[in-house]
Amino acid sequence: MKLQHYINNIEKINEEVVCDIQNRLDNLTKPLGSLGKLEEIVKRLGGILNTSIPKVDKRTIVIMCADNGVTDEGVSSCPKSVTATVTKNFLKGITGINVFSKHTSSDITVVDIGVDDDIQCSDIINRKIRKGTSNMLKGPAMTREEAEKAILIGIEIVKDLKEKGYNLLGTGEMGIGNTTTSSAVAAVLTSSEVEKMVGVGSGLSKAAYKNKIDVIKKSIELNKPDCKDPIDVLSKVGGFDIAGLVGVYLGSAYYKIPVVIDGFISATAALVAIKINPIAKDYIFPSHSSAEPGSKKIMEALGFEPTLNLDMRLGEGTGAALFFNIIDMAVNAYVEMGTFNDANIEPYKPLN
C-alpha cells in the first residue's frame, strides 16, 4: 500500500478502555493518583492495545542502521566504517543494547536501511535503499521518493513484527554522523537556532564542534527545507535511519502497538512522525532525557516529559530498553494490587 494510506488511517486509542482502567486504578488499595506517571502509562497501554488488562510480554528494539554522506565534512570523530562494524557487532552480543535488551527480556531487530557496506548476515534485515545518503552540504541528502520508501520500510517492519506476536517496540539507531542530521531536522522543525541543537556527538574538539554547526547551517541554507512539510525536511537534511524510524512510529500507530523513544535521534524521528500525523503521539512513549543539547527542545515540541534522566547519550535503543522495566512495573502494579474491597478498606474519596 502507498504511504498516504497508512498516514490517513491511524485511529485514536480507545478512550472507553482508558476510562475502565482509570476506574480500576481508583479502586486499588492506594491514595488516588498516587502511582503518578505509572497510572498514565498503563491507561495509554490499554487504550492502544484495546484491553483493560494490557499485556506487553513480547518486545523488541528496532535498530535502524545507515550511513550519512555528511560525514565527508568531518562532523564526527569516528570514521564512517564504524557504522558497519557496530551493526555487525549487534549480532555478536557485545554492544550496549545487547546488555540492556538481555536484562529487560527483549529482543533486537537490526535493519540495514543504508549502511555503506555489503553486510552478509542472515540475522540482519537487509532493506538497504543505497549505501548511505548524499552529502547534504552538496545537495539534498536523499530524494523525496527515497525518504518515503524509507518510511514505508519502517512501517513494513512493524507489520512483520506484529505478525510475529510482538506487542511492545522500542526504537534505536546506528549511523555515524546522525547527530548532525538529527540536529538539522530538529532545528528546522522546531524553528530553533542550530547552536541550541548541536552537541559534541561522539566527542568533538572545539574546532570540530564549530565545524559541525557551520555544516548544518550551510546545509539548511543550501537545501531550504520546508518546515511545513516534514518529509521535505527529512529528505533534504535527514538520514535513512531517521526516516526508517519515522516509519516505525507511524507503523506502530497504524498497527496499534505501543512504541518507546530512545534518545535524541529517535526523538527527532518521533517529531517528524507526529508532524506527519499528530494522532501518532498517543502511541509513543518517551523514555529518558538524552544528554544531547537538543533533546530538551524536541521533548518540549513533542509535549513529552521523559521519566528517566540519566545523562545517557549512547543511542542504540538503550534508553528504550531501560524504560521497558518502568512499563512492566506499571502493568504489574495495576494487575496485581488488590482493590479496597479485597482489603476491607473504605475507598479514598477526593476532598471537595
With a CB cutoff of 8 Å and minimum separation 6, the contacts of 315 are 172, 173, 174, 262, 263, 264, 265, 266
The reply to whether 129 and 24 lie within a common domain is no
The reply to whether 47 and 172 lie within a common domain is no
Mean pLDDT of the residues in the chain = 94
Expressed as residue numbers, the domain containing 30 is 3-54+333-343
The reply to whether 80 and 183 lie within a common domain is yes
352 in a structural domain: no
Instruction: Give the dihedral of Cα atoms 218, 224, 226, 227; nearest 10 deg.
Output: 20
pLDDT given at position 352:
60
22 in a structural domain: yes
Q: For residue 269, give the amino acid letter.
A: A
- pLDDT exceeds 70 at position 23: yes
The reply to whether 118 and 218 lie within a common domain is yes
The reply to whether 294 and 175 lie within a common domain is yes
pLDDT tens, residue by residue, 88-123: 999 999 999 999 999 999 999 999 999 999 999 999
pLDDT given at position 205:
83
The reply to whether 25 and 78 lie within a common domain is no
CA distance 49 to 24: 17
Question: Predicted confidence band at 294 (pLDDT cuts at 50, 70, 90)?
Answer: confident
7 in a structural domain: yes
pLDDT tens, residue by residue, 233-267: 999 999 999 999 999 999 999 999 999 999 999 99
What domain count does the chain have? 2
150 in a structural domain: yes
User: On the CB side of 139, how many CA atoms lie within 13 Å of its CA?
Assistant: 5
The reply to whether 131 and 7 lie within a common domain is no
220 in a structural domain: yes
Residue 125 φ then ψ, to 5°: -75, 120
- pLDDT exceeds 70 at position 203: no
The reply to whether 13 and 79 lie within a common domain is no
- Give me the CATH number covering residue 14: 1.10.1610.10
350 in a structural domain: no
74 in a structural domain: yes
pLDDT given at position 200:
67
The reply to whether 90 and 113 lie within a common domain is yes
The reply to whether 26 and 141 lie within a common domain is no
The reply to whether 34 and 74 lie within a common domain is no
Is the Cβ–Cβ distance between 137 and 70 less than 8 Å?
yes
281 in a structural domain: yes
- Give me the CATH number covering residue 136: 3.40.50.10210
The reply to whether 49 and 63 lie within a common domain is no
316 included as an active-site residue: yes
User: Catalytic residue among 195, 316, 336, 346, which?
Assistant: 316
